Amino acid sequence: MRQVRHGRLIAVLPLLLLGPLAGCGGDEEPRAAMTVRVLVRDINIRPEGVECAGTGPYTYFHNKAGYRVVDGDGETLAEGELPPGKSVRTFEEDLEVPRIPTFCEFAVPVSVADRKAYRLIVDDRRPIPLTRDDSEGPALVAVVPS
């Protein structure tokens, strides 16, 4: 019986020791998982559903471009590199051709603290305002004007 108690104590000790290492100290702000969705309205002719990057004046939107999500005061909340974009149709009409007018949409998973305002900065360009949209799960959305 004593060995069983000792075995349980050994199993619990590593969990107790990991607590401080896992950041349970309460110093960090709570963060929420969201997706930053950016629709680059570049109106490019390409197949729907393929990997894409921004075209024309939006070539800085591409796989591996650096991004930051900042709050209204400019504090960085998340940063990384953009994943590949995915082409989405610009309108619902079926043109019955393999290549159609599309936009390039990027979906970037982030974890951010709750703020009143968020902005996206890609490739150190002008910040783009993000708006909340919880219709398809927690998301911050930007539409880049064409």
Per-residue pLDDT, averaged over 6-18, amounts to: 33
pLDDT of residue 25: 44
pLDDT of residue 18: 34
pLDDT band of residue 28 (cuts 50, 70, 90) is confident
Tell me which DSSP letter residue 45 carries: E
pLDDT of residue 22: 39
pLDDT of residue 3: 38
Name the token pair of 77.
Answer: 């909340």
Pick the more confident residue, 105 or 3.
Answer: 105
The model's pLDDT over 90-138, given as tens digits with 9 standing for 90+, comes to 988 888 888 999 999 999 999 999 999 999 999 999 999 999 998 878 9
In whole angstroms, give the CA distance from residue 138 to residue 7: 43
Q: Give all domains of the chain, ordered by start, each with its CATH number.
A: 27-144 (2.60.40)
Cβ neighbours around 108 below 10 Å, total = 19
Per-residue pLDDT, averaged over 84-94, amounts to: 92
- Asked if pLDDT for residue 19 goes beyond 70, the answer is no
Percentage above 70 pLDDT, the chain: 81
CA distances from residue 100 to 28, 42, 87, 89, 93 in whole angstroms, order as listed: 47, 13, 10, 7, 10
Residue 143, burial from CB neighbour count under 10 angstroms (0-12, 13-18, 19+) = middle
Which is it for strands 139-144 and 31-46: parallel, antiparallel or unpaired?
Answer: parallel
